Amino acid sequence: MEKLVIKGGTKLKGEVTINGAKNAAVAILPATLLINGECTIENLPNISDVQISCEILSALGAKIEWIGKNSIKIDTRNITTTNAPLDLTSKFRASYYLIGSMLSRKGEIQVGMPGGCNLGARPIDQHIKGFELLGATVDVSQGKITASADKLVGTSIYMDIVSVGATINVMLASVLAEGTTVIDNAAKEPHIVDVANFLNTMGADIRGAGTDMIKINGVKELKGNATYSIVPDQIEAGTFMLAAVASRGDILIKNCITKHLESITAKILEIGGNVEDHGDSIRVWCNERPNKASIKTLPYPGFPTDLQPQMGVVLSTANGNSRIVESIWDSRFQYTEELNKMGANIMAQGKTAFFEGVDHLVGAPVYSSDLRAGAALIIAGIIAEGTTEIYNLQHIDRGYENIEERFRKLGANIERVKE
């Protein structure tokens, strides 16, 4: 077992380059199953979710060649089975994208119930609703999802709830369907636009991604034979922006799309931080104690739920009393118990957490409950007085490439050690 050991009290300073977006990569990789050919994908983050996705695609018959640390050439001409390996698919959330992709490619799929971060109930009813409206039959039993369709026919689908996964999955199931599909009340996250751009590069006809109405005109097949580069990770960029504010440091975040960061920038300016927007990079610095804030997480372009724990660390040592309302997930405040072990004063009740800003945090052994909570605990350890040990690193490694090395380059005293 490994742990991170952090000696705190550092003001993070320097430059960091943002990787490709995890939540785009884990959708674009299964989307390659729609291609009867090969393609090249660049700017892939080298994280365990991507590695598992590649293992699953290989098990289905795809040929994958790594060309460099962050690029692959993938040939999906020869898909030999429609049974995804259950042990792998239950390891992460995005395995459900295999359903939309394989319904389009092969008309059938069996996959384990998706895993992923423990954020409370994570139903997939909107995914299933979309597949059934397109003409598929879906069965969920004994921890498996079995879906099949003789033919997929385009139709209008209204999403009862704004869902990133369901929006992408229905898009994947519509690309090769007969006729036109309209997804209404669609999610608008940058990674949804990236999946649509990837599919259109490979020959699909998708319009309106990034708005709440997406129109997909079914095409006969996707040729591939193209190269696509994954969009920079909005959440990773936001993580480093908030680390700069929490540590009273000064960080230049390179290779990002600042348009995707507007809600984070607005909140940082509101609490007294400073931001310089250079279009494809952004400088964030903070010289004094931030002021209190009230945050509500919302679908894009609102404040992202995936940056809620990191903002929680900023507010735990801000001036005055703050509040966060988590409107997306039922249970995304487990990290506050860990921060309280470090001297924070947070009371979480259901979907709301109240923060009474304290002067400083104190190092302690803490446990990461999910990917973004893990990132938040790293920031907390960097700003705390004394030494912090962080366990359950598997969560963090799912979504952040070489996280300790990148914080070390910003001045953090952080080591990964074998327990």
Catalytic residues: 117
Q: What is the DSSP string of 153-217?
A: B--EEE-SS--HHHHHHHHHHHTTSBSEEEEES----HHHHHHHHHHHHTT--EE-BTBSEEEEE
- CB of 44 or CB of 364, closer to ligand EPZ: 44
94 lies in the binding site for ligand EPZ (CB under 6 A): yes
Q: Which stretch binds ligand EPZ (CB under 6 A): 121-129, 213-221, 255-263, 273-281?
A: 121-129
Output DSSP code: residue 12: -
Nearest-approach distance from CB 419 to ligand EPZ, in angstroms = 25
23 lies in the binding site for ligand EPZ (CB under 6 A): yes
Q: Any idea how long the chain is?
A: 419
Q: With contacts defined by CB under 6 A, how many residues of the chain interact with ligand EPZ? A: 26
Structure tokens given for 61: 């018959």
- CB of 286 or CB of 403, closer to ligand EPZ: 403
Nearest-approach distance from CB 220 to ligand EPZ, in angstroms = 29
- CB of 92 or CB of 285, closer to ligand EPZ: 92
Q: Where are the alpha helices (DSSP H) in 288-387?
A: 308-316, 334-341, 371-383
**Strand partners for 366:** 390
User: Which residue in this structure is represented by tokens 């994958």?
Assistant: 64
Residue whose C-beta lies closest to ligand EPZ: 165
Return the residues of window 326-355 that contact ligand EPZ according to CB under 6 A.
328-329
Q: Which of 18, 25, 26, 134 binds ligand EPZ (CB under 6 A)?
A: 26
Per-residue x/- mask for ligand EPZ, residues 170 to 199, rule CB under 6 A? Answer: -----------------x------------
Of 42, 65, 57, 53, the closest CA to residue 227 belongs to 42
Nearest-approach distance from CB 47 to ligand EPZ, in angstroms = 10
Phi, psi torsion values for 412, nearest 5 degrees: -70, 145
Measure Cα distances from 84 to 13, 53, 62, 130, 241 in Å: 44, 11, 12, 21, 38
Q: Could you list the residues that contact ligand EPZ (CB under 6 A)?
A: 22-23, 26, 93-94, 117, 121-127, 161, 163-166, 187, 305-306, 328-329, 371-372, 399
